[in-house]
Amino acid sequence: MDIQKIKSIDIEKIEPSYKNMPTLAELGCRVQSLLKQVEAEQKEKEQEPKKLLRQIKAQYTPLIEKLKQLKTTIGSKLLPIMLGDTSEFLPIEKRKVETQSGIAYVKKSIDISIVDQDKIPKEYLCPDIKKIKQAVKMGIHVDGVEVVEKHTVVFRS
């Protein structure tokens, strides 16, 4: 069964009845077989750009890493001067340096680390859905979770 024939099937016209069950099952199995074939083809095609991407990364990664290292080193040399942590005092307006290539300035940001997870308010906690599903499948009751069973028809070819 080819893709054009599959596209032309009007599934709405096939009545779900005991009489049509073999027809629907056969159609489902053929569709599953074609799906496997098309997915395998797609996977094969997707590998080509991945190989090219690996080559590009191998070419550029060393240079990018070196440039990042240089930027960090230069920044660590500039920061104490720009913050006035040296013997030279800089007025706030002098803490921004404009050059032909661009501007260097100090940006304030924050980082956090969790020191006591029990004290974090619950509005900042996010449930791990994957972990909860695994626990439920293993028969563990999880408070606050409703289990809804879903049924689907599986076709194998």
Residue 80 pLDDT: 82
Burial of 34 (0-12, 13-18, 19+ CB in 10 A): middle
Domain boundaries, the chain: 3-108
User: In this predicted model, what pLDDT tens digit does every residue of 88-143 receive, in sequence order?
Assistant: 655 655 667 888 888 888 887 778 888 888 888 888 888 899 999 999 999 999 88
Contact 5, 14 (CB under 8 A): no
Average pLDDT of the residues of the chain: 84
Range of lowest pLDDT (24-28, 52-56, 69-73, 151-155)? 151-155
Q: Which neighbouring-strand residues pair with 24?
A: none
Which pTM does this prediction carry? 0.48
pLDDT at 103: 87
* Strand residue runs (E) in the chain: 96-98, 103-105
Angle among Cα 135, 137, 143 to the nearest 5 degrees reads 50
Instruction: Confirm if 131 and 139 have CB atoms less than 8 A apart.
Output: no
User: pLDDT over 70 for what percent of the chain?
Assistant: 88
pLDDT of 32-41, one tens digit each?
Answer: 888 999 999 9
